[in-house]
Structure 1
């Protein structure tokens, strides 16, 4: 069965502003995100790609644009089911403010029970994304064979939930997974089980350097590895 390369979109204006963008329109790549996207064709130069699939949101389409320009024969397919989690009333709010909401503790510790006010539950988010990947795996395999590789550009929480599914992890453990902007995660699907081949690969270890306190505070109390809480929405990556 096909091998899937999951690409998290490049760093966005919302990432750098510490805002939970969700499905807000007009969220684009910032300067660094555009540079990350521009480097994508070289990173995938040795990989024949059978298809490219994207979340409908602008930041994902912008991330794949350089790759599509470098490969004129590679068509882009839009897939609504891998769009960002619908954070509902939380969309557009500062992560630093949201960290004090009682629901944030549930999102961190018991995400399978978390449902965003005016939005969707994290269980529903994972279910739709997993269904989409299963269908695309079957479609790409049927059209291009078992050795086919395809790329899918999506969002931090979506990719983390897909990795959890591939590893047989309960959704309540998915906050232990981290994927930086424009990172590559590869999963090879077979008849009996998936194999995780790469996780959050950027080729850059700068994100392991200590984060200053002001930056951490801007993205929420205890955000990221420094405080033990996961960065909802995926975070901005290395400073």
Structure 2
């Protein structure tokens, strides 16, 4: 089975000022965000990536370029609108501190499966399209490149949280328990029996083990031996 690295875009000017950017155009990475995605690209550089699929929004495109630029052989890239940010409708462009006073805010926090943003989409619909897109790309990568292939999906915080919740078998109402930091890497495989989540929201650590071994589809009883550290026997 293939392995997908779910990468959130780096910090943006909107993130830094507490603005819900949504699908606004022209929202790019700030200086910290650009540093973050360089570090993320350097982490992933040790893993030959089959393809990079990105949300069409500027902040994700910048993040995807930082990853591709550090890959030997420049893997192909693709833009998929199904990985774009949630359509927050009338909430888009507002400050988060102002949105906390809205009646809908409580439902967003505690019962997101019931939420439809005014003039926008539902969080359930967001999850459905995002999960379907990730699984579709994952199957295509494995069919073309084999079960050891690794690919990257660059997207947004709520999108990645919803994909992780699905992979973990969590109800959408619990997805706010997950945190996905800017420029973080989460790792998922979709096996025949079930998805497996190898890591969530990591911003440091070696990823070269992904180039040395194919994650197993079955869960080891007792937890297994883990992945070998670089330079250790079996690495």
TM-score range, shorter chain: 0.7 to 0.9
SS at the partner of 1:124? Answer: helix
| Conserved? CA contact 2:4–2:152, under 8 Å | yes
The number of aligned residues is: 204
**Alpha-carbon distance between aligned partners in 2 of 1:173 and 1:70, rounded to the nearest angstrom:** 35
Residue aligning to 2:37: 37
Residue aligning to 2:67: 67
Q: How far is the alpha carbon of 1:70 from its aligned partner? A: 2.4
After TM superposition, the score normalised by the length of structure 2 is 0.85
After TM superposition, the score normalised by the length of structure 1 is 0.83
Residue aligning to 1:135: 136
- Give unpaired runs (5+ residues) of structure 2: 206-235
Residue aligning to 1:176: 177
Q: How far is the alpha carbon of 1:68 from its aligned partner? A: 1.5
| Conserved? CA contact 2:45–2:67, under 8 Å | no
Q: Deviations over 1:176-200 (max 9, x none)?
A: 0001100000001111111110100
Residue aligning to 1:195: 196
Q: For the pair shown, which has the larger CA radius of gyration, 1 or 2?
A: 2
- Give unpaired runs (5+ residues) of structure 1: 205-239
Q: Deviations over 1:75-122 (max 9, x none)?
A: 110011110000000000000000000000010000000000010000
**Alpha-carbon distance between aligned partners in 2 of 1:70 and 1:178, rounded to the nearest angstrom:** 26
CA RMSD of aligned residues (A): 1.0
SS at the partner of 1:137? Answer: helix
Residue aligning to 1:6: 6
Q: How far is the alpha carbon of 1:48 from its aligned partner? A: 1.3
| Conserved? CA contact 2:7–2:185, under 8 Å | yes
**Alpha-carbon distance between aligned partners in 2 of 1:126 and 1:40, rounded to the nearest angstrom:** 25
Q: How far is the alpha carbon of 1:56 from its aligned partner? A: 0.3
Q: Does 1:152 align with 2:153?
A: yes
SS at the partner of 1:143? Answer: helix
